[in-house]
Structure 1
């Protein structure tokens, strides 16, 4: 679960950390409108947390897998459509929804699987989110200076977000295996 915490947030926030150059340089969004796009991302994140938390109560593994896949697809779309301002803005808002919508579920699963150490699991989940963000942002910054330019951070984010599918699918398979008693 901690790996999923690191990669889900690392993927999304690595791209988000450098979204302004993509919005202004590639999509042609006026610099004065970038804060409004960031508000849209924040509102998407809030809605994603509410919806993800509610869906995660009923189907936690499906929610974490769908959110990770959605974030990876959205980040890839941002890489492919950076010249279309309207599409890019919508994708950024949706990225907030999908990209951070699984976080409450990931924390809940971490606590659930922690046994006698739920407080430690919660703390480690937050630490994993922060470690993923730091590592992803560092990689995204290096990609920004690469031949990919302003789309580099989104490409890095898509790859990291896709990595979230490994632990989330593995845990879902193990959890639903007939040999487990969870």
Structure 2
């Protein structure tokens, strides 16, 4: 969300897209997000971490690509659409894991999971804004998102290893 919050200046100031085209690019992000959510939800039900970790890695790669190559309108829009697809494919998987682990009393767990997404949006947007206001400028929000995502891959790997050990036949 650090990068997503600052998509409009990325598209207009860095990639040279006219302001009137930004809503269409955001529609593309939304279509990508819908596609990613459906894909992540369906595949994540069967192969949780085998879907979650690569989706997070692809999202990190896309944030890196945005940082480096979002200087043309076509490349920037394509990367934003792909970011929606990859980034949002993780959400249903994460919520599904909360439900699976929570067992009875899922209402509170679901509420906390949803709240954690909102906190992540707020903190990510704030950190992206700090980076945007720094010497990093327009590259700052995507670099911030990349750093946050890379930091999340280690705990995801630990969770995947823990789950594999817990479900391994003895």
Equivalent positions of 1:69-148 (< 5 A) are 69-148=57-136
1:26 aligns to 2:14 (yes or no): yes
Is the 1:146–1:152 contact (alpha carbons within 8 Å) kept by the matching residues of 2? yes
**Once the 2 structures are TM-superposed, how far is the Cα of residue 116 of structure 1 from its aligned partner?**
2.4
For 1:41-96, what per-residue CA distance to the aligned partner results, in whole angstroms no more than 9, with x for missing partners?
00000000011111011101111111111111101100001212211110100000
**Once the 2 structures are TM-superposed, how far is the Cα of residue 181 of structure 1 from its aligned partner?**
4.5
Query: Separation in 2 of the partners of 1:101 and 1:155?
Result: 20
**Once the 2 structures are TM-superposed, how far is the Cα of residue 102 of structure 1 from its aligned partner?**
1.3
**Once the 2 structures are TM-superposed, how far is the Cα of residue 99 of structure 1 from its aligned partner?**
0.3
**Once the 2 structures are TM-superposed, how far is the Cα of residue 164 of structure 1 from its aligned partner?**
2.1
**Once the 2 structures are TM-superposed, how far is the Cα of residue 165 of structure 1 from its aligned partner?**
1.0
Which consecutive residues of structure 2, in runs of 5 or more, have no partner in the other structure? Answer: none
Higher relative contact order (CA 8 A, sep 6+): 1
For 1:23-46, what per-residue CA distance to the aligned partner results, in whole angstroms no more than 9, with x for missing partners?
111111111101100000000000
**Once the 2 structures are TM-superposed, how far is the Cα of residue 18 of structure 1 from its aligned partner?**
0.7
Is the 1:82–1:151 contact (alpha carbons within 8 Å) kept by the matching residues of 2? no
**Residues paired across the two proteins, number:** 168
Secondary structure of 1:18's match?
A: helix
TM-score, with length taken from structure 2: 0.95
Is the 1:78–1:154 contact (alpha carbons within 8 Å) kept by the matching residues of 2? yes
For 1:125-180, what per-residue CA distance to the aligned partner results, in whole angstroms no more than 9, with x for missing partners?
10110111111110100111111111111110111122221222111100111xx2
Query: Separation in 2 of the partners of 1:170 and 1:118?
Result: 23
2:148 to 146, 156, 160: 160
Moved over 2 A (4+): none
TM-score, with length taken from structure 1: 0.89
Is the 1:64–1:102 contact (alpha carbons within 8 Å) kept by the matching residues of 2? yes
Structure 1 equivalent of residue 40 of structure 2: 52
Query: Separation in 2 of the partners of 1:168 and 1:181?
Result: 16
Query: Separation in 2 of the partners of 1:42 and 1:30?
Result: 19
